[in-house]
Structure formats: C-alpha cells, structure tokens
Structure 1
Amino acid sequence: MGALLNLIRARLSFRFIFMTLLLLALLQAIGFWIVQATVERYVREEVQHSIAVAERVWNQLLVQNHQRLEEGAELLASDFGFRSAVASRDENTISSALANSAGRIGASIAILVDQQWNIKGSSLPDMASSSNTQFLIESLSDRSIKKENNAYLTALYEGSPTQFVVVPVRAPRVIGYVLMGFTIERDMIAETSDLAGIDMALMANSSSSAVRVLANSSRLEKHFLEDIPGDYFLEDLSFDMNVGEDTYVSVIHGQEVIGGYISLAFMKSLQEARRQFDELFDKYFSVTLVGLLIFGVAITWLSRRVARPLEVLTKATEALQQGNYDALVSGSTRTDEVGVLARSFDGMRTSIKQQQDTITKLAYYDSLTGLPNRLSFRNKVAHHIDSGQHDSLSIITINLDRFKQVNDILGYEMGDEILKATATRLLGIRCAQHDKLARVSGDEFSVLVVPGGDSALEVAKSLLSKLNEPLEVDNNQIDLSASIGIATWPDDVNTCDALINASQVAMYAAKQRTEDITVYKSELVTSTPDSLSLLSELRQAVINNELRVYLQPKVATADNQVVAAEALIRWQHPEKNLVPPFRFIPFAEQTGYIREITKWMIRSLASQWHALQTHDTPFRVSVNLSTRDLMTASFPTFLEETLAQYNVPASGLCLEITESAIMDDPNFAQRTLEKLSAMGFRLSIDDFGTGYSSLAYLKRLPVNELKVDQSFVFGMIENNSDRMIVQSTIDLAHNLGLDVVAEGVETGEMYQALGELGCEEAQGYFIGKPMPIDEFLAWRKEWNRSHGLT
C-alpha cells in the first residue's frame, strides 16, 4: 500500500488516473444515491396513494352496507303486515319477518324495540335474553338515538364490529324501532385488500371479550395479536411498522364505538413496493462497474499520451524555470501533441514576459497619467541621496485645490481628464521632466529639484503660474488653483522618506493657511509620537481623575480686589508628571474629545465653587470654551443640569470664547450665545484683536466683556502703537457697554497703565501664576492682607 502511494505521488500519470477514477466513482456513487433517494420517495408516495385508495374503497363498502341495511330496514318498517304484527304484538310474526328481512339483505342481526326501547322481537332466538343485546339497546337509549332518523353507528356486538341502522316504525305514529346490523367479517377486509392492493387489519377491543383481529393474512393477525398491545391504536397514527424482517408503511385509524374500540390499519410492505426497482438497481450497478473498467483502461492510455510530451519538454523548460524568458522552446515545429504542447509553452513564455513588463510598469508608473508613481519617485529620490552626487535635493509637492468639488459636480471621468491634462501641462515645463515628475496620490504631484538650475522656490513659482492658467477639458473651462509645499535635504531632514513627508507637511500647511507656496519649517510639525501617546491616554486620564484645575486670579484695577479667576487645566500624569496643556489640548480639539474635558472642568468647578466664595461679593470663575463646545446643541442643557446639581448660579461662571470659534459658524454661535446669556451666564470674547475682529458680529453678540490679547499688553509700555491698540479696544468696549480684561500683565507698570486707561480687570504673572485651588485660597488671603483688604 505504501509503495502504491509513493508511486502515485511520484508520477503525474498515476495521479491523473487515480484522481479521475476516484472522481468518476464518486460521481457514480452520488448518482446512485440520488436515484435511490428518488426511488425511495417515489415508492413511499405510491404506497401513500395506495393507502388513500384503500381508505376510499373501505369507506365506499361501509356506505354500501349502510345503504343496504337502511333500505332493508325501511322496507320492513313500511310493510303493512309487519306493522300490523307490531301493533297486535304478534311476536312470532315479528320474529319471522325480522329473520326473513335480515336474510334477504345479508344482515347478521335484526331487532324490534318499542317506544321505551324494550325488545319485542329478534331475527335470532335467545337474542332478547343476551347481555350483549341488552347492552346494545341500553347504549342506544342512553345516546338518544331514538330521536334521530336513519341513525348510523358502529358497535361491538358479541365481540365483533357491527354496523347498525335504526329505522322507526310508524302506524302512523312511531310504535317502535327496527335495528339492523351487519357484522364486518374477514371477507370484507380481504375484498378491500384485493381491490386496493394493500394489507389491512381490523382490531376490536372490548372490556367483555378478548382482542379480536381481522386481517387479510394470518401473518398480520398473529403480529397484531402477539406483538401489539390492545390500546396501541386508540388514536390516528402514521408510521413505519416492522413485521418480522419486513417494514410496512402503516396508517391507523382508531375509533371509540359502542362496547369498546376498533382500529383499522392500512399497510403496505416497502420491500414489496421496491421489488420492481431491485432489478433496475442491479443493472445500474453492473453498468457502473463495467463503465469504471472501460474508463480506467481509456484514461490510462490517455494519461500516457499526455504525460510523455511533458517528459520530453522537461529539459526544454529548465531555462524558463531559471527566469530566462528569452530562451526558445524546441519542438514547436512538430505537428503532433508534442508540437502543440511546445508551441503552448512558447506562447506561455512570451505571455509571461509581457505580463512581467506590464507588472513592472504598473508597479512603478501611474496608469492614468503615465507618470512615475510614489514608489518609483521614492526610489529615484533615495538613489540621488545615496549616490552622493548632489549636496542638496528639494522636493516640491503640489495638491490641486477644490479637486473634490470637481469630482462631485462634474464626475470622476472629468476628474480623470483633468488629472491627465494637469500632468501634460506639468511635463511642458522645462524644470519638470518626466524622470523628475511623479503622481504620488489622487490629486497630488511631486517634483524633484536637483542643484544646477533654478532654485526650488523659483521652480514652484513656475509650476504655480502654469497651473493657475484655466484648463479646457471637453469644452469645459475649469479654473484650478494649487497648494505647494517645498522641503530640502539635508537642511530640513536627513532621510529620503522624511524629505517626502516634509514636503507634504509644507503642502498641507499651505492649504490650511490658504497660501500658494509654503517652505518647510520644523514648527509646522504639530504631532509627535510622544504627543500621540499622551492623546491615547487622555480618555483614561478623565476616567481616573488625573486632570487638575488651576486658577489664575483676576484683580479689579480700581481697588485691587480679587474678583475672579480663570480656570486652567493641567494633567498630572502618573508617569510623566505634570503635562502642560499645549501638549494635549490641540489634539483633544482635533479629535473632538475636548468636549469631555470641558464637561469635566465644569463639573469640577461646580463642585468647588462654594469653597471659593467670599462674604463680600460673588466670586466668578472663567472657563474657556472650544469651537466644538459652542457648536454642540446639547451643551446649554448640560450646563443647566450640572449647575442645578451643585446649586451654583449661572452668574457664578464666565464663559470665554475665542473670535475664531464664533466665526466658524456665526449664526449657530450667535444662537447658542443668546441661549447662554438668557440663562444668566457672563460671556467674554477671549484673545480679542488676534482673530477676525468682526465688529458687525460683535455688536450683535450678547457678550459682557472683552479680553485684550497679551501680545498687545506685552508691548504697550515700549511700543506706542500697542498702547494705542489697547486704548482703542478699551474705548470700543466701553462704547458698546462691555467690560475689559487685560491678560499677560507682567509688571507693575503695565498694571498701573491699564488702570489709567480704564481697564476694569487685569490678569498676569505680576498678579499671580496659575495655581491649584488650595494654593489659590492661601494666595488670595495673603494678597488681601498685603493690600489692606478684608
């Protein structure tokens, strides 16, 4: 067995023969199984049909017996002489008439009863004194059959199932009833069985006698008497019954009758029903064996015809296995199978060579524009850097503006045409030859600039000038602008990948700043692996309560009272100690998690607000809101519910909003601010003067104060222009009915100057640095003491 398996594994022809024969045998087995299943289903359907026919035949025989009994009973009941005998109570005449009538129609029993169901005559002697007869009459009386005309019922009489009819005798009123019965005998079972071609058994079970079985064969009678309990067929059943080694499809109908129960079984042998198909299966099996033998001989011959050319061409294909696709395949001129196979191998060699050329082109060139792709461009840049031929290299990355709108409005087919036209236009520029230009992504192109020609900035300006010219594609005039980023090796970065990435960073910065050209600077990189790690831990920091609230005091310039404080957040990292806000707040704003941080800050302040209050005047705490907070429709509801939970008035908080946050969606921001103002919150415009500074929106917004940005406060002592800006801002705010807060107060001179200019409140390191709440309370106490305040 092991040697055979080794031979099959070693020789292709043997594997081919073995697998083919195995597959054919499997298909034949499946076919045999399908045929067998179909025959089985057909046989059972035919058996069920035969049983249904037998049931109809049996019911028809019962109906015929009933009609014959009914006609005979009615004829006797209507006979004048019989009625006269009944009226005169002539028992001999009655008994004789009953016996003659029963014999004429084949009835087994005939009885006359009066209106009170007392027996007045019978067709057989001593029948009136029989306990079975008395039980029958009593059952009929109990069931009030006497109230029904032509009643038809079944009873066990003397242990035998018997059909009965009840016909009234009228002269002209009812003077009695004629009962006629027909005993169901074995010949009726046999007749139905012969007509329908199935086996039948009738089982009668009464409490007064043993179980009686009538069947068309003694084998079935013996089975029902010995192997089947008497109460087995009290219900209607359908199942397969095993009788000896034979299986019968059986349908049983159980019925309660007068005097006990009867069950009628319709049965048909599956073996007998299948017998006509056995010869078919034998022939099918024989044909299958012969077919497998013939097919095995034929496939053996054919496999040798197929395998021999493979052996001949093995040596010829060794060159192809080594990747030498230029090697010729011998034997291609032959006209036999070897020649056909050789020509096929030669065609395969040519096709593989073409496919490899196509794959190489797809791997390194863009299929739409024909330009080098990102991989090819990266390899070229790396080659220039590694070769040491140049002291510096620059990459210009170009991204088309509004290209997504072109795709959305004009469709992707038009977008593809625009990309091809853009590539053609770029190739027309002297400094962007085919080997230095690449399409690196959807609407993004890169240009490699080497020393010896124009500088990278001059090349970028040339490219921009060319791209700003309108494109005409399919009679459509399209204006596209571009954002361009420039990075240089080794001044900006040290590696090839870093150079490509730096140019993309500069390009995205240009797009964000709406600039045409941006040169890379390290400050443009806002994300570092460390900051991203901190950002991933920020969610857990909120859950673990690692954040801390710091307060920076605000002092009224008029009387030096500490009237408010700005709440600032710090992160007490379990491993990295205190993390400053600029390390994680920008990323929280980008991801939207700043909303959760704001909620945490407000909950924390609300829970500690009462501890900050003094006995004199309410103490305010300012909280900075981000753009995402202001654009969240449910934010006012959150504020209301949180302050109500801690019993904090809305006037106890001042919400600070930057101008840029308002201008992202002015209408929505105005509605939100109006809602917050109506709730009683104090609203402040933070960093005023550094954003859009839209006076049109400022006069419409329900704000209470302006915060002068620290960039103006820093220079107001040395720079008269900054002082004028601060003075103008204060005057503008006062004219609009707003208070002014100056941040970034570093010296006493600044503090005094702000007071002279009319600024209401000041904030900065001269007054106090941001500090934890406990330290803030101690600081405020010391400040009040040093300034003579209570």
Structure 2
Amino acid sequence: MGALSRMLRGRLSFRFIIMTLALLVLIQSIGFGVVQATVDRYVRGEVQHAITVAERVWNKLLVQNHQRLAEGAELLASDFGFRSAVASRDANTIASALQNSANRIGASVAILVDAQWQLKASSEETMRHFDNVQHLIEALAQTRAKEGEEAYLTALYEGDPTQFVIVPVRAPRVIGYVLMGFAIKPDMIAEASDLSGVELVLMSRSESNSVNVVASSTPLKEHFLRNIPGEYFLEDLLFDLPINDDTFVSMIHGQQVVGGYISLALMESLNEANQQFAELFHQYLFITAMGLVIFAITVTWLSRRVARPLEVLTHATSALQQGDYDVVISGTRREDEVGLLARSFDGMRKSIKQQQDTITKLAYYDPLTGLPNRLSFRNKVANLMRGGQYHSLSVITINLDRFKQVNDVLGYEMGDEILKATASRLLGISCSAHDKLARVSGDEFSVLVLPDSQPAMDVARSLLEKLNEPLEIDHTLIDLSASIGIASWPQDAAGCDGLINASQVAMYAAKKRTEDIVQYKQELMTSTPESLSLLSELRQAVVNHELRVYLQPKVSSQDNRVIAAEALVRWQHPEKGLVPPYQFVPFAEQTGFIRELTKWMIREIAAQWHGLQKGNDTFRVSVNLSTRDLMTTSFPEFLAQTLREYNIPASGLCLEITESAIMDDPSFAEQTLAKLSNMGFRLSIDDFGTGYSSLGYLKRLPVNELKVDQSFVFGMIENNSDRMIVQSTIDLAHNLGLDVVAEGVETEQMYQTLAALGCEEVQGYFIGKPMPVTDFKEWREEWNARHGLK
C-alpha cells in the first residue's frame, strides 16, 4: 500500500494511467448500474404482471367451481323425485340424492335444510351429530340474506376454505334449501399455479385460531405454517418476502369469511425471474474486462511516450535545485511543447544566479531606506539572545504620527522622501547605528539598545528630540512627531518575538494616550490568546445559534399593566453553560463585534415580536445600542430593512442609548438619532445620571424617555440625596416632555415610591428577572391573573 501511494505521488505517467483506468471503470460501473436498474424494473414489472394474471386465473377457477356447484344444486332442487322426497320427508331418499349429486359434481358436502334453516339431511350422515353444523348453516343464511342470493359464499368447513351455494327447493312454495360446498384442496391450488406459473398459498384461520395452509410448494407451506402475521388476514399487501435464499414478490389478499379468516398469497420468485438475464450480465462483464485490459495496454504505451521527455527535464531540475547551474538542458532544439519547456528551463537557469543576489538583498534590507528590514532585525535580536554575550536587551519601536495624513495630502512620493529623511536623521544619532536600526513596516522603525550603551529611556528621548525637529523637503517644511514604545528583555518578554511585540504594544499605548514615550507594562496587553479565542467563539455562537434572547418586563406604575420589556442577550455555551453577559459583552464592545451582536438581537426580536403582542395596544421591546452601533452610518438602513422583512411598526421597538455613547460624538449622534426618530422609533437615554451629558444637547435630542440608573434607585429609600436625584430627574424629564423609566426596582416600597413620584414605568427583580421568551409569556399571564388584568 505504501509503495502504491509513493508511485501515485511520484510518477505522472502512473497517475495518468490509474486515473484514466479509474474513469473508465467508473463509467462502466455507472453503465452496469443503469442496466441492472433497468433490468430490475423490467423483471419486477413482469413479475407483477404475472401475479395479476395468476389472480385472474384463480378468480376464474373460483367462478367455474361456483357455477358447477350452482348448476348441480339447482338440478337437484328441481328434480321431481327429490322434491317429492323432501315433501314426504323420506330421509333415506333425500340422503341418497344428496350424496349422489355431490359425488357427480365433485362437491365436498351437500346439505338439505327446511324453510327455517334447520338441518334435515346431508351427504354425510355423521354431519348431523355435530353442533357446529347448524351454526355454519345459520351463518351462511345470514350472509346470503345480507349480500343477496347471487353472493359468493365462503366458509371454513372442517378446517378447509369451502365455497358454498344455496338453492331453494320449491313445491311450489319454498319448502327447504339445498346447500352445496366445494372445499378448496391442494389440487386446485396446484392447478392454478400450473396455469399461471405463479406460486399460490391459501391460508385459513378459524375462530378457534387453528391454522391451515394449502400451498403449491412444500417450502412455502412450511414457511407460512411457521409464521403467519395477523395482518395477512385483514389487509391487502404487496411486498418483497424473503424465504430461505430467495425473495418473492408477494401479493396477499385477506378477508373474513364464515367461521374465520382466509388469505390468498400470490408469489413470484425474483431469483427465477432474474435467471434469464444472468447470461446477459456475464457477457457484459466479460466484454468490460476485455475492454479494460486493451485500454490499459494502450494508455500505458501512450503515457510512456509523453512522460519520458518530462523525466529528462525533471533530472535537470533536480540539478538546478542542488545549485548546479551548469547542467545541460536537453531537448532545447525540439519544436513541440516539450522543446518550448526545455528552452524555458534553460532561460531560468541563466537568470537564477543573477536573481539570487537581488533576492538576498530584498529579503534582509528595505529597498527604500537601505536599512535592515523586520526579518534582519529579528534575526539580529534572536542571535544576540542566543549568543549569551548579553544578559539584557531593549528594543525601541518608533511610529511617525500623522504619516497617513501626509501621504493623503502630499502624495506617496513625498511620503517616501520623508521616510528616507527620517532614516538618515536616525542614523545620525550615535546610539542608532546602521546595525542597530531597522525599518520594520511602513512608517515604523525599531532600534536595538545594548546594555553597554545609554539606558533605553535616554536613547528614546534622544530619538524623540531629533524627530521633533521639522523636516524641509522640496522647500516644504513638514512638522512630524513620533510615538515611542520601549520593552526590555528578559523583564518584559522571554523571547525575541515577544520582546519586539511588547515594544510595539508600548508604542501603540503611547499613540493612544497621546504620550511621547511609554515603557511596556503587562497591563498594556489587552489582546491575549484567550481573548482571541473568545472572539472566535463569539462568531461561532452566532452561526451555531448559541445566543439566546431574554426579556425583563416593564410595568406601568399606574395600573400594573405589562406594557414593554427590555431585551437582553445570553450565551448558552455548549461546554461552559450559560455565560453571563459581563463576561463577553464588554469584550464585544472593545473588539467591535458588538455591532454583529446588536444586529443578531434585533433580527431575533423581530422574528418573535408578533408572538409577544396581546390585545390592541402595541407591546414594545427595548434594545440597547452601543457607541459603535450609533456611529455606523448604515445602521438606520439595517433597521428599516428588518422592519420591512418582518412587517413590524417602528413604534414596536424602543432603542436605548447610554449617555456616554451620545457624548462620544454629539453631533453625529444627534444626526443618527434624528433619523431614527423620523423613522418612528421610540428613543430612550439609558443609565441617565451616570454620564457626562450636557443638558443643552439633551433638550435637542429627539428622545422619548429617560431611564434612571439603578444606582440611584437602590439608595433612594435610605438615602435622601438619591431620592432627591430621582425626584429631580423625573421632574426634569416631565418638563422636557419625556417619560421616565426606573430600573433596579427590587422591593414593593421602591415600586410604590416611584409611582408616587410620577415615574411612568418600572423594571427590576421585584417585577421580574430576565427570562426566556417562552417563560416571559407564561409570567405575563400569571402577573395579569394576580392583578386582575386581561
């Protein structure tokens, strides 16, 4: 197996042969499968046709027997001597006539009953001594009366399915009835099987559950004697029945008769039906095998002719790989595709050596400034760490501020000149010689500081002082500044990559804090492998439907009606269980993934909004928006599209925005809120009183309500200052025409106090905790029932 795998990987010609043969085998297999399926359909069709014919043959035999019985019974009933014997009650003459008539037409039994259906005589004298005969007669009479005089009568007589006919004896009025029965015996089953070519099985089960089987073959009789499911007698079935090593297409007709149940099975062997096609399949397989052999020989010969020149070029390629650029490339004079390939290889051989020097320089040096690049700088730092000559090292990372702005305004050519001038200026400082300085990215430089030179902080100050001097390029004075980060080994990192990364983290911290120089500290590392894993898990949580919507009810403080709910996100982690929001929502806000969470939340609420409505009033659902949502220009259009998709009015949603989100960019926030208000959304200021909002902005914002932060609600009962803040907030909101919602209501006293202060809506654990949507609906019904609401 391993040798075959190596050949498949290594030789094109062998792969070509195998793939071609495999394709041919696949095509032949598909063809074989199509033929097999067609033959199978044909065979099954023929088998079902044969069964249908056999059913007609069987019915014809039954009709013939019925006619013969009816004719014999009528002949006997019309015989003058028999009628006279019946009239005179001559028992011996009647019995003899019944027996002779039954023998003449091959009936199993002949019976005479009077007009009241009482047994008077029979062809078998012993019959009169059995009590169940009278029961049989009465059952046949009832069936005849129910189904008509011409009805086919079938009964179980002495365990055998028996056809009966009933003919009245008139003299001239009806003085009795002749009943003649014909037992269905194996010879009749065999005759029907011979005529139709189909196996027949007649099964019967008496009311005492005794079973009798008559079959056209012994194996079938033995099989059905071992196993006759009850549904065989009650239903019409068509199915495949495995018996021994054969499969029979079986049609079963079950019916209830007098004295029990009978069931007729018509069966045809699939193995016998397929036998006529066996030779065809053998011929097909033989032709296919011969075709594969011939095709394999032909393909192998063609593959060798094509692959041989390529093998020669492969050997030449191996020599080039080993550095032998003087190898002779054969076949360059050929005019075909192989010759073209050989000439291309020869041209490649001549240019590789020239390119090697250029590649080496490009791999380790920046072509713009001539400084070592990131790879070269990293290798130098790593070698110094491994060499053991120094026990500490520092790396300074420098990033030019506003460089992108310079590129956008003055053009990339001017940007390149600035980078070259910056490199020259840095090289002019003794502490950043050419072997210690590198350009590691677009506008980022790194400096290696050894312990035998100045301290890293002093070096950074020298670099910053030099970089803060204005640059004059093409008579243009350019004023740039820089952000600098410092990290040291082994204090801040254990390895080369960690040291360089730590210095970059410090540099980004300096840029973010608008500081000039920042020394690395562990707390600067905001992104960890765990946080990256959390972001990946959050993305999968949305895809795998692991997030859940929880609702916390809002109640009107005036009449206790549940008029709204705040939607909150929960994460049902498959391994960690229910993850609380404080463990992932702040991280989502930090990484920007909060935008996806908000969109998911709004779509989920929209999908379930109609199911939350009750009565004529619109039930609102509140959604929290983050700063990133508010600052996304496409967010209003997303909301409009969602409303259209789910046919929801904008008034059905309330968008809650924190003060801090508004004050990050008041002008842009005001524009976005105006769009949302014009669309019909209800807007709410969340956590009011904890931020730094300006009342000047507040009076211009198109909001509808304020939410008093729970920190004030918690303390308003014990702390009069908090109570005054809550009272002032409510009064301020009412003066501005806004409603007030208080959150964090945990006691009835808080609830009553807020109602007395004029707060319109309240929410908190006293009302209800956040709960899944289904639980919320049940809770609302219980709340309404408890407060006498509909």
| TM-score, normalisation: structure 1 | 0.46
Please say which structure displays the higher CA radius of gyration: 1
